[in-house]
Homo-oligomer: A and B are copies of this chain.
């Protein structure tokens, strides 16, 4: 026997839904997040149904006022406002509206389906959130730029394979994240045109049988365009996959930055120091100050890629068109949105309060990281580079074995290895000279970094216009 709490779809059913299944089937606890979008959609859609004569002007007034009240009710009371029997936000809003205004509420659903409705709600929500994320990225980039400017001439060891390779400017190092994350911004920005496509009017799968003016709906809901095919419109979730992969790629960049900063703020490097604001201690070891903010930034990369994999796997080999599997899309989407926003916010604070130890950076430079200068000197004297490299390698090895700093090798000492070193001078390993030789575009010379900052500022300004 069926009970009183009828579902919107239960006309043809004889038996009541099982409670365990009902719970698994219910999405309200997470799709409640879409209530503003769903209310907006219902308002605009009801206007259109009024134009078509399905809803009267009087009923429309009731609906609009009712929805307005409802929006503030839900804002205040959240989930607690809904009965346990409510499946999802669409039925939740319709049911509460019916309790407020009666039969008019039952008319709103003509010509639409939850299939096109949920796709429209999610897209509306995502447009909003992408813009928030883009703003946070801009803030993050702005601070990177400021740090570079404020520390334009600080030098530090540059690494490959986590071994000292050549010295670089700290500002150059910081700008490397700017240009990487700037592409992450662009990519996300490019995706907006594929998110901002309205499915409303696609109904269950075949398109609505009502003479809806979809352009009117689009304009009033704030979409850029509309879906051109109803079966595509109700099923496709490529916009979610694209968002999740874009966030994944951004999170990889941030995990690299976090890894570096965890290393560079450790006792063994000491290049930077995190503020107490974004650090924690140990409950057992009173000496500890831990970079939890950076570790969570790094660790949450797992969560973000996992979300992408979840939805990818869910979508794999789904037959046309809507399948209930698609219900799984929301929680993982919302989780990635929340996670990346938290990460960005915390790291903005971290960067704003970062202390930089220029002395420690400078002193940490390993003399042998000037070795390439020797090889280049020979190559400029017409020694084939491979020979030059080999000769220098021997000098390095000899320094290691005799525990001599490479930089303390004088011209006279060098000449013993190769006569072409003549003229190099004793001061060949001067850091300023090293930097000055690297002012080509993208190089670590001061002039080059100033150019980078100039270009970066232009990019940021252009972002602000879009």
Q: Are B442 and A201 in contact (CB under 8 A)?
A: yes
Known A282-B204, A286-B375; judge A440-B168 contact (CB<8 A): no
Smallest CB gap from A325: residue in B: B299
Q: Are B249 and A248 in contact (CB under 8 A)?
A: no
Known A209-B372, A228-B179, A323-B295; judge A202-B442 contact (CB<8 A): yes
How near does chain B come to A255, taking the closest CB pair, in angstroms?
Answer: 5
Known A106-B384, A208-B438; judge A263-B319 contact (CB<8 A): yes
Known A302-B309, A316-B255; judge A204-B166 contact (CB<8 A): yes
Known A11-B286, A258-B317, A281-B11; judge A229-B176 contact (CB<8 A): yes
A191-216 interface bits toward B, Cβ cutoff 8 Å, 1 = contact, 0 = none? 10010000001111111111110110
Which residues of the other chain, B, contact A175 by a CB distance below 8 angstroms? 228-229, 232
Which residues of the other chain, B, contact A62 by a CB distance below 8 angstroms? none
The main secondary structure of chain A at its interface with chain B is: helix
- Determine if A90 is an interface residue (Cβ-Cβ < 8 Å): yes
Which residues of the other chain, B, contact A190 by a CB distance below 8 angstroms? 190
Which residues of the other chain, B, contact A266 by a CB distance below 8 angstroms? 162-163
- Contact-residue size bin, chain A (C-beta under 8 Å from the other chain): 35 or more
Name which of A16, A194, A444 has the most chain B CB atoms within 10 A of its CB. A444
Known A158-B206, A159-B321, A160-B321; judge A106-B396 contact (CB<8 A): no
- Determine if A15 is an interface residue (Cβ-Cβ < 8 Å): yes
Residues 71-118 (chain A) with a chain B CB within 8 angstroms: 90-91, 94, 103-104, 106-115
Which residues of the other chain, B, contact A113 by a CB distance below 8 angstroms? 282-285
Q: Are B279 and A13 in contact (CB under 8 A)?
A: yes
Which residues of the other chain, B, contact A106 by a CB distance below 8 angstroms? 384-387
Known A208-B440, A364-B268; judge A249-B238 contact (CB<8 A): yes
Which residues of the other chain, B, contact A465 by a CB distance below 8 angstroms? none
Which residues of the other chain, B, contact A452 by a CB distance below 8 angstroms? 228-229
- Determine if A291 is an interface residue (Cβ-Cβ < 8 Å): yes
Q: Are A385 and B12 in contact (CB under 8 A)?
A: no
Q: Which of B15, B289, B448 contacts A276 (CB 8 A)?
A: B15
Which residues of the other chain, B, contact A328 by a CB distance below 8 angstroms? 296, 299-300, 302-303
CA distance A208 to B18 in the complex (A): 42
Q: Are A283 and B109 in contact (CB under 8 A)?
A: yes
Q: Which of B7, B260, B305, B346 contacts A319 (CB 8 A)?
A: B260
- Determine if A292 is an interface residue (Cβ-Cβ < 8 Å): yes
Q: Are B317 and A160 in contact (CB under 8 A)?
A: no
Which residues of the other chain, B, contact A343 by a CB distance below 8 angstroms? 24
Smallest CB gap from A231: residue in B: B176
Q: Are B183 and A238 in contact (CB under 8 A)?
A: yes
Which residues of the other chain, B, contact A284 by a CB distance below 8 angstroms? 109, 112-115, 203-204, 372, 375, 389
Known A267-B366, A302-B314; judge A397-B11 contact (CB<8 A): yes
